[in-house]
Structure 1
Amino acid sequence: MRKNVITIAITLAAAASIFAVISYNSAKMDAVNNPVNSPVVNVAVQLPEVAVMAVTKNRYQAQVIGYGEVQSRYQLTLTSEVSGQVESIGKNFATGKLFKQGDVVIHINDIDYQQALSSAQVAVADAKLALLEEQRQGLQARLEWKNSGISGEPDSPLVLREPQLIAAQATLNNAQSQLTKAQRDLDKTAITAPFPALVVSRDVQLGSYLQEGNSIATLYSTDRVEIEIPLSAHQWSSLPNMSGDVEGEWPVTLTNTTGDNQWQGYVARVEQHLDNSSRQRSLVVVVDQPLAQNTPLFPGTFVTATVAGKVLDDLWQLPASAIAQNGEVWYIAADGNLATFTANQQFAQGELSYIKPMAGMDSANIIIRPLNSYVQGMQVIAKLSNPSEIQLANAKHTAVNTDDTTKVMTVNRALTVNNASVKL
């Protein structure tokens, strides 16, 4: 009897539990099927704030930026024109030293050449004597022919010694040529710098024996350096029309790769052909007396050339940071939301870029530093920045970290809470 009572009690408790669960689930289902009866959750909308700058059309002078390597006007491998042993060398004949034009670089032993010169002088003297004798004999022969009473000219020119006179004259001419060559060879034993030169390499020593054509040194001229600056067709369009020789008419600022030194040069000429490899045409920029500058400009230096170009109208001036990596510029549209267009950049100068405005737009509020997460029509709060703030922001600009990017990407994401759509 007691066992039956316990069984009945357990059964009643289980039935009550099942009824409670069913009632709870029914209530939940009613809440889902009848959302009108559910409470509404209010979520605050937090729009992102973006820094913008106001831009308007204006006139700016274009600047064309190019790159090149400084090269000497002349780069010469100095060679020997005569053979012999190096008897002496110039006091400045060492790498890094300078020669004036006409300074002796080396002197070759000239005894053999002095002897050759003496022999040539003797040959010239003998040839002159022979010519004088032949001229006298010719006059004597003509006089004898006249006194012979024979009319007309002799049957052979040998009678009047005309061929002998021609031969004597030719012998003298040859002797004089030999003398000239002997003198030249003697002069070439003293090998001089053909222009103001820097010694780049030295290929002989005191006592070296040179054959004709052997290398002596590599010399770079020091009176001027030249820099070929290849430019694209777009860059050429930003420059005034230049052709042929324009030396001294167009100034150029040159800066080294570290940016701590500058030199002033000028456009000497423009190339009239396209380079086979780059398919570009070059400006040739010149700096006179490069080693005499306050900071010497050495051959082999890589430089950035800044060339003043045309004055262009109706351009917007933007910080370079306003142009995204894909070339787009973001701005605040008339409805206050984000919009974008592809930049048509005309030229750049330092941290500034100059672009053509969108058709029909004279002014705009441009996003100073757009993010990759921006989308067309995105709602934002625009904060107008003045030029000093923009300059400071550019100076302190660093890459956006991952956490900040993640936070920004959550903006404008639609969440549905109890059938209410809001933008965060």
Structure 2
Amino acid sequence: MKKPPTQSIKIAIPIVVLSCGIAGAWALVANRPELEPKVRTNEAPWVETITVQPQTLKINIRSQGIVKPREELTLVPEVAGKIVRMHPNFVPGGFFEAGELLIAIDPRDYDHAVAAAEAAIAEARRQVLFEEAQAEQAQEEWQALGEGQSTPLAMHEPQLAEARAKLKSAESELANAKLRRSRCDLFAPFAGRVVEKQAGIGQYVQIGDSLARLFATDAADVRLPVPAEQLGFLPFDFVSSGGGISRETGVMLSADIAGARHRWQGRIVRAEAVVDETTGLLHLIAEIRNPYQSEQGGVPLLAGLFVQAEIEGREQREVFELPVGVLNSMQEALVIDGDLRLHIRRLDVLRREADRIWIESGLTAGERVVISGVPVPVEGMKVRVQKTTPEISADDHVADADADADAGAAR
């Protein structure tokens, strides 16, 4: 029996499609483009370098602190009474000179005590004179009429001793009365300012009451924290001086007041006895003389002001300056020799700053240091110099070093 025509078509279509696919694949393979082999070249990488020269550097240590008065005290009375007089500038912020009368307490009760003590002295002196006369008379009478050994009582010796003791007691009472009277007047122990006033005229005060807070204006102090590793930059031998300041060192303080930068000159006068165990910092004390006078920059150095400090450092010779990023984590840099070969060299870092690194040793004058272009350095590999930046001047100069005292620069 003959198959229907539709069944034959179903069998023929897949055969035709498969044949066309095989023919197309053969045509692609036969007509593929010829690939030309490329020869791989191993060219030396291009690098960018700088030429270094030794410099003389003056490293200043930067710190910060809060201005504190040299002396600060609370004024309290040592006697009770009513305030009858005050200094005209006895107000918060008022100035006064050393030895000026600040507060006077009503002295009448104490004047009366002085007068009574003087009267007691007069009475005691009269009694002493009387007993001396009695003793002299008893001595004469005993020599004229008496027989045997005289007794102290008969010679008025105890009576005279008692009178003299009472005289000394009266003199002591007078001295105490005068002392209490002198304490009615409270004088300024130093030239200074009034921070806070807590009393007024007519007020009755007791012994120990707080009348005012005062501070001295002849000098101000600033505690400056410095990392222990930076003490070697100071212009004296901190170790041989026993941890003290062997000689005074200059310091420049600065702060922004009323939108302008102001500066005050001071000096490092001492160091505190211990290193802060929590921060590892040693505090140096900067002293500023006459902080409220016009010669200190025209603006007073106010107590409580936060200031930046730059402490004068010693000169460091034969140091090299490198940009940040030249050294790796192992403090190694890439140096090129005369044959344009690369060398990995470990350097001794004197100080790291925000924008530069100071090298103490490991480089020589005129050497070229790679600053970019070698992602994977290999010792002795050949390189090509793409660009050389201008040389860093070899002339001696003084550079101010930026250092954050709390972070601590690496050495």
TM-score by length of 1: 0.73
Match of 2:22 among 14, 19, 23: 19
1:73 and 2:93 are equivalent in the alignment = no
CA distance in 1, matches of 2:355, 2:6: 94
| CA distance in 2 between partners of 1:257 and 1:318 (Å) | 32
User: For residue 189 of structure 1, what is the amino acid of its counterpart?
Assistant: C
CA contact (8 A) 2:347 2:361 kept: no
Counterpart AA for 1:187:
S
Q: 1:332 to 1:18 in 2, by over 3 A?
A: same
State the partner residue of 1:304: 308
Instruction: After TM superposition, give the deviation of residue 208 of structure 1 in Å.
Output: 2.6
Distance 1:122 1:91 in 2: 37
- Residue 27 of structure 1: how far off its partner (Å): 6.0
In the alignment, the residues of structure 2 paired with residue 146 and residue 167 of structure 1 have an alpha-carbon distance, to the nearest angstrom, of 24
Structure 1 segments unaligned to the other structure (5+ residues): 32-36, 390-424
* Greater Cα shift, 64-73 or 325-334: 325-334
Higher relative contact order (CA 8 A, sep 6+): 2
Give distance in 2, aligned partners of 1:98 and 1:311.
42
Question: In structure 1, how many angstroms separate the alpha carbons of the residues matched to 2:130 and 2:386?
Answer: 110
Equivalent residues of 2:320, 2:358 under 8 A apart = yes
1:284 is aligned to: 285
* Aligned-partner Cα distance in 2 for 1:146–1:323: 113
- Uncovered stretches (5+) of structure 2, i.e. residues with no partner: 394-411
Tell me, yes or no, if the aligned pair for 1:52 and 1:384 is still in contact at 8 Å.
yes
Equivalent residue for 1:207?
A: 202
Residue matched to 2:135: 138
Q: Which residue of 1 aligns with 2:396?
A: none
Aligned match of 2:349: 344
Any idea what SS the aligned residue of 2:202 has?
A: coil
Distance in 1, matches of 2:326 and 2:73, equals 47
Q: What is the CA-CA distance between 1:291 and the residue it aligns to? A: 0.7
CA offsets per residue over residues 235-277 of structure 1, 9 Å max, x none? 2223312548868742222233789222211222333443455
What is residue 154 of structure 2 aligned with on the other side? 159
- Tell me the equivalent position of 2:164: 169
Secondary structure (helix, strand or coil) at the match of 2:176 reads: helix
Q: Aligned to 1:300, what secondary structure does the other structure show?
A: coil
- Residue 267 of structure 2 is matched in structure 1 by 266
| Percent of matched pairs sharing the same residue | 26
Per mean C-alpha deviation after superposition, the further-off stretch among 287-296 and 19-28 is: 19-28
For 1:202, the aligned partner's letter is K
Opposite residue 289 of structure 1, the aligned amino acid is: N
The amino acid of 2:301's aligned partner reads L
Rounded Cα–Cα distance in structure 1 between residues aligned with 2:164 and 2:197: 46
CA distance in 2, matches of 1:76, 1:226: 15
> Which residue number in structure 1 is paired with residue 251 of structure 2?
252
Q: Which residue of 1 aligns with 2:111?
A: 114
Q: Secondary structure at the match of 2:20?
A: helix
State the one-letter code of the partner of 2:23. Answer: A
Please identify, of 339-348 and 81-90, the stretch whose mean Cα deviation from structure 2 is larger.
339-348
- Aligned partner letter, 1:175: A
Q: Secondary structure at the match of 1:38?
A: coil
Note closer, same or farther for the CA distance 1:150–1:214 as it changes in structure 2 (3 Å cut).
Answer: same
Change in Cα spacing, 1:47 to 1:117, as seen in structure 2 (3 Å) is farther
When structure 1 is superposed on structure 2, of 215-224 and 375-384 the one drifting more is: 375-384
For residue 52 of structure 2, give the secondary structure of its aligned residue in structure 1. strand
In the TM superposition, residue 197 of structure 1 has moved relative to its aligned partner by: 1.3
Pick closer, same or farther for the CA change 1:339–1:165 going to 2, 3 Å. Answer: same
Deviation at 1:221, TM superposition (A): 0.7
Q: Which moves more between the two structures, 298-307 or 8-17?
A: 8-17
CA contact (8 A) 1:337 1:380 kept: no
Quote the Cα distance in structure 2 between the aligned partners of 1:248 and 1:18.
Answer: 98
The residue aligned with 1:227 is: 222
Q: Per the alignment, do residues 352 and 9 of structure 1 end up closer, same or farther by CA in structure 2, a change over 3 Å counting?
A: closer
3-state DSSP of counterpart to 1:195: coil
Alpha-carbon distance in 1 for matches of 2:316, 2:74: 47
Preserved contact between residue 63 and residue 347 of structure 1 (Cα < 8 Å): no
Query: 1:250, 1:59 → 2: CA distance?
Result: 20
Any conservation in 2 of the 1:332–1:367 contact (CA below 8 Å)?
A: yes
Measure how far apart 1:60 and its partner are: 3.0
SS in structure 1 at match of 2:265: strand
TM-score under structure 2 normalisation? 0.75
Counterparts of 1:381 and 1:231 in 2: how far apart (Å)? 42
What is the CA–CA distance in structure 1 between the aligned matches of 2:326 and 2:76, rounded to whole Å? 56
Q: What is the rounded CA distance, in whole Å, between the counterparts of 2:168 and 2:369 in structure 1? A: 86
Distance 1:226 1:22, change over 3 A: same
* Partner Cα separation in structure 2 for residue 49 and residue 301 of structure 1: 53
8 Å contact from structure 2 (residues 82, 105) kept in 1? yes
Q: Whose helix proportion is higher, 1 or 2? A: 1
Q: Aligned partners of 1:132 and 1:78: how far apart in 2?
A: 45
Distance in 2, Cα, partners of 1:327 & 1:297: 45
Q: How many Å separate the matches in 2 of 1:299 and 1:380?
A: 60
Matched to 1:290, the amino acid is: P
Tell me the equivalent position of 1:404. none
8 Å Cα contact 1:62-1:347 kept in structure 2: no
Partner in structure 2 of residue 354 of structure 1:
358
> Contact between 2:336 and 2:370, CA under 8 Å: does it hold in 1?
no
Q: Within 2, Cα distance between the matches of 1:295 and 1:46?
A: 65
Are 1:327 and 1:342, in contact at CA under 8 Å, matched by a contact in 2?
no
CA distance in 2, matches of 1:336, 1:205: 85
Q: Contact 1:329–1:342 at 8 Å: present in 2 too?
A: yes
Confirm or deny that 1:61 pairs with 2:35: no
